[in-house]
Structure 1
Amino acid sequence: MTTSWGRRLIASLSAAVAVAAIAFIASVVVLLTANGLASTILPNAAEFMIFNALAALVLTFAAALLGGLDRRWIAVVTGIVVGLVSVVLGTLVLYSVLGAALNSTAWGQLWSSLIGINLPFWLAVAVVTPTAGLAVYRSIEGTRGARAGATVALVRIPASNLSEGLVTHIERESVDAELADKQWDAYVAALSEAGWQTVEVASADGLADAVFVEDTAVVFGDTAVISLPGADSRRAETAGTEAALRAQGLHIERIEAPGTLDGGDVLKVGSTVYVGRGGRTNAEGIRQLRALIAPLGYTVVAVPVTKALHLKTAVTALPDGTVIGYEPLVDNTSIFERFLPVPEAHGTAVVVLSEDTVLMSSSAPKSVALIEDLGYTVVQVDISEFEKLEGCVTCLSIRIR
C-alpha cells in the first residue's frame, strides 16, 4: 500500500516541477516576444530565468508538503508568495554566480525587476500554482481540503436494464423502470432538501446494479476505499465512482484481489467499523480494509452475515450510535454494543442526514413510528422498486461528510 505521506511527497514534487517548468517556459517566451523573437536573446533569457525556476521548484515543493496546496484559496496565496520570493532568491543567486556586488544599486535593480524583467515569471507562478499545479497535486495525492466541511452525497442514475439487477435472498419481482426513475428523483430531492449537495457519478447504462452506488466505495474522513465487488458483474461500476471521489478531492485506496468487499457490508459507528462477512465480502477483503483504515484510527469488527445480502440489509445505526435491525435477518445481535430491534425488514435501513434527522423507507411505517418516538425526525421516501432488488435507502448513495 502506498502511504499517504508517500503520495504527498510525490504529489508535491510533481506539482512543483509543473509550476517551475510552465513558469520558466512562459517567462522565456514573453522575453523573446518582447525582443522581437530574436533568437540571440534566448541563451540570456534562459540563464536569467533558470535560477528563478529552481527557486520556485524548491519553494513550491516545500509549500505543498506543508499544506500550501490543500485548498484552492491557500494555493492562490501560495502562488503569489512563491512567485515573489522565487524571483528574489533566483536573482540573488544569479548575482552571486556573476560575482556582482550586492550593493544598494544591485538591490535597487532587483526590486525594479519585480515590475520589469521578473514580472512575467512571478505572475506565471501566481497563475499556474492554483490551476495546473493544484490539478497535478490533487490528481496524485487527492487532498480533500478544497471541500472541507461540505456534506456531499454521490448518486448514480438507474440503468435502462435495472430490472436485470441481481437478486440473491428474495424472489424476483417485476420492476417498473419508469416508477423507479421517479423514485430515484424523489430520493435525490430528499437529500438535497436536507442540505446535502448531490453529485452524480457518471451514468453506467448497461450495468444493472450501478444505481446501488454505495457498494463501490466506502469513505473514511478524507480517504475513500474503492471496493472490489463480490459479484463479478459489478466490478466495472467502480471506475466511475473512483473518478467522482477523486473529483471531490479524496485520497484513494482500494481493495485488491483476491479480496472482495461491498460497501453495503460496511457499517460505521463512531470509530468502530462493522464489516459483514457474507456472500459479497470475503475474509481477505476484511483483512485489507482493516490494514487500510487502522492507521486512520478505526477498529474493524467482522460480523457474520448469512441471512441477508449485505450487513446493512440487516442493520444500520442511528445518529447516537444505536444499531437497529430486523432480528430475523441478524446472525448475532450481541456483537453490537447497543442493539434495538425494529418490527419490519425494510425498517432496518436509515441514512443519517443530521444529528436529529434520518431518511427511511416509507414501506416500514411501524419502524418509522418507532424511530420518531425516539425523538428523531424521519424523512420518508418510497423506494419500492429498488427494494425488489434487495436495495435500501443507504445503498443508493455514498455520503461524504
Structure 2
Amino acid sequence: MANMCPYGSFTHAVVRGIPETFGKTVGDGHENGEISVDLAKAQRQFGCLTGALRQKVGLQLIEIPPDPELPESWRIEDVAVIQGDTALITRPFKQQRRSEAEAVRRVMSELNLTVVEMGAEEGDSGGATLEGSDVLFTGREFFVGISSHTNRRGAEVLADTFRDFAVSTVPVCGGARLKNICSMGGPDTIIISSTDGAKKTLRMMEQLTDHHYEVLTVPEESAANCVYIKGPSNRDFLLHRPAEECPDSVSAFQKLQDYTLLPTACSEASKLGASLSSLCLLINRKHTYF
C-alpha cells in the first residue's frame, strides 16, 4: 500500500481566483442558460474559503491568478488528480477547458511532483476524458464516477497512473459528478446525500470494495460535498456548507466528534454545478519548494 501518511494529511492548497467572466461559458453560451450569478459574492466566498484553508487549517496557499479567458478555471479540482508525489493532469470533457491545465502543471512541477500527462499517451489517450470532481480517493482506493464529464477510458488512465491502489468505476446516478453526491468526511467515513440516485451509487461502491466505510447521510444534496483535512497541527477539519445554505444538514455534521467544523459558503459556485472541493487542489509536501 503506497499511502505513506494518514489519510487527509495536507500541507498545501492550490487555488485559482474567480475571474470577471465567472458564470460565462466559452462556446455557444447556452450551457448555463439563464443562471444569474453574483460575481462580487462569488469572489467574497472564494476569499472566505482561502482564508479558512490558510488561517484556520494552517495550509500553505498557492494562488494562481484568475484568467478571464478561462471562465471555468476556478474549478481547479477538475484538472488534476494528486496522490502522494504524483499529479495526473486530466483531460476535461470540454475542449475549451483543456488549456486550464497549463498553469496548474507549472505549479505541480515547482512543487517537485511527478507530473503525468493524460493527453500525452499514444493516440491522444484514445478519447479519454476525466475530471477530478468525478474522482473520490478514500485513502485506500479510488472510485471514479462515470458521468457526462468522465468516461471509462479516463478511469483506465487513472488506474494506470496510480497502480498501488484499487480503482473502481461507478455510474453517477442522479447527479452531475460523483463528488456532487458524496465526499470523504474522514479516513473511513463517506458523506453522502440522501437522494435515491446517491444511495444507488453508494450501494455499488459498497459492492466493489472489501473495506467497510462509515456512512454519514445528509438530507440536502449540496451538503454532501465537504472537504476533510487533517491539518499540519494534526487536528481534523471539515469544511462544509453553512446553515444558511443547508439548514437541514448541520446537525449531521455535529455528529463528527472532536472535529473543527468550518462552515464555508459556496452558493454562487454551486449555481454552476460546482461544490466546495471544486475550488481547491490539496497536496501533501514535506518540504516547501516556493
Mapped pair 1:393 → 2:276: yes
- Following the alignment from structure 2 to structure 1, what is the Cα–Cα distance between the partners of residues 241 and 134? 19
The answer to whether structure 1 residue 348 and structure 2 residue 253 are counterparts is no
User: Corresponding residue for 1:103?
Assistant: none
**Equivalent residue for 1:281?**
150
Paired residue secondary structure (1:164): coil
- CA–CA distance in 1 between the matches of 2:79 and 2:148? 15
The Cα offsets for residues 216-244 of structure 1, whole Å up to 9 and x where unpaired, read as: 00101000000000122211111111111
Percent identity, aligned pairs only?
27
Partner of residue 47, structure 2: 185
1:255, distance to aligned residue in structure 2 (A): 1.6
1:264 aligns with: 133
Contact 1:226 1:255 in 2 (8 A): yes
Measured in 2, the distance between the counterparts of 1:169 and 1:321 equals 36
Alpha-carbon separation, structure 1, partners of 2:146 and 2:36? 29
Question: For residues 165 and 383 of structure 1, do their structure 2 counterparts lie closer, same or farther at Cα, with a shift above 3 Å needed?
Answer: farther
Whole-angstrom distance in 2 between the partners of 1:374 and 1:286: 31
Partner of 1:162: 22
Q: Does 1:305 align with 2:172?
A: yes
Residues 201 and 261 from structure 1, CA distance in 2 versus in 1: closer, same or farther, beyond 3 angstroms?
A: same
CA deviation after TM superposition for structure 1 residue 170, in Å: 8.4
Of Structure 1 and Structure 2, the greater helix share is in 1
User: What amino acid is aligned across from residue 247 of structure 2 in structure 1?
Assistant: P
Inter-partner Cα distance in structure 2 for 1:171 and 1:191: 32
CA contact (8 A) 2:134 2:145 kept: yes
Q: Is 2:266 the counterpart of 1:359?
A: no
Unaligned runs of 5+ in 1: 1-148
Secondary structure of 2:263's aligned partner? strand
Residue 232, structure 1, aligned to residue 115, structure 2: no
Equivalent pairs, count: 251
> Structure 1 residues 169 and 333, CA, compared in 2 at 3 Å: closer, same or farther?
farther
How far has the Cα of 1:346 moved from its partner? Answer: 1.4
- The one-letter code of the counterpart of 2:102 is A
TM-score between both structures, scaled by the size of structure 1: 0.59
Change (3 A) 1:158 1:341: same
Give the SS at the match of 2:175: coil
Aligned equivalents of 1:170, 1:326: Cα separation in 2: 24
* Partner in structure 2 of residue 50 of structure 1: none
Structure-2 separation of matches of 1:270 and 1:150: 12
Counterpart residue number, 1:372: 254
1: CA distance between counterparts of 2:226 and 2:31? 20
CA contact (8 A) 1:172 1:388 kept: no
Runs of at least 4 residues of structure 1 off by over 4 A? Answer: 165-172
Residues 291-302 of structure 1: matches in 2 within 5 Å?
291-294=160-163, 297-302=164-169
Match of 2:122 in 1: none
Contact 2:129–2:154 (Cα < 8 Å) also in 1: yes
Q: Kindly provide the CA deviation profile for residues 98-134 of structure 1, in whole angstroms up to 9, marking residues without a partner as x.
A: xxxxxxxxxxxxxxxxxxxxxxxxxxxxxxxxxxxxx
Q: Which residues of structure 2 form unaligned runs of 5+?
A: 1-8, 120-124, 207-211, 285-290
Q: Given that residues 169 and 308 in structure 1 are in contact (C-alpha distance below 8 angstroms), is that contact kept between their aligned partners in structure 2?
A: no
SS in 2 for 1:225: strand
Q: How many Å apart are 1:293 and its aligned residue?
A: 0.6
Residues 161-210 of structure 1: CA deviation (Å, up to 9, x unaligned) = 11214899987520011111111111100101210111012432221111
CA distance in 2, matches of 1:383, 1:212: 12
Task: Quote the residue 1:175 is aligned against.
Answer: 37
Q: Greater strand share, 1 or 2?
A: 2
1:2-401 aligned at under 5 Å gives the runs 151-165=11-25, 172-193=34-55, 194-256=57-119, 257=125, 258-294=127-163, 297-328=164-195, 329-330=197-198, 331-334=200-203, 335-336=205-206, 337-338=212-213, 339-354=215-230, 356-362=236-242, 363-375=245-257, 376-401=259-284
SS of residue in 2 equivalent to 1:366: coil
